[in-house]
Amino acid sequence: MTELGGTTINEYTLDKDYDLISVLYHALQGVENAGKYRQDAERENSPEVADFMREVQEQNNRIARRAKELLFKQKQV
């Protein structure tokens, strides 16, 4: 493993690729978690919190889509 700019990577993965993959993973985790929290809010009759969690899901979906776009774009260069 090598240390490049703070992120430890192997010899086959560039720092920026690892970072994009990490952001993608965490954004998708955020979508899943916010979905569970939204269900909790709906079950507890809290529409304001449910709406907020829906917004969180949407934002994380946008982030995940953008990270995927950048990953694919980087691999085409």
Predicted confidence (pLDDT) per residue in 12-65, tens digit: 667 888 999 999 999 999 999 999 999 999 999 999 999 999 999 999 999 999
Is residue 60 included in any domain, yes or no?
yes
Is residue 24 included in any domain, yes or no?
yes
Q: Model pTM? A: 0.78
Count of domains forming the chain: 1
Is residue 9 included in any domain, yes or no?
no
> Could you tell me whether strands 7-9 and 2-4 are parallel, antiparallel, or unpaired per DSSP bridges?
antiparallel
Is residue 61 included in any domain, yes or no?
yes
What domain range includes position 63?
14-76
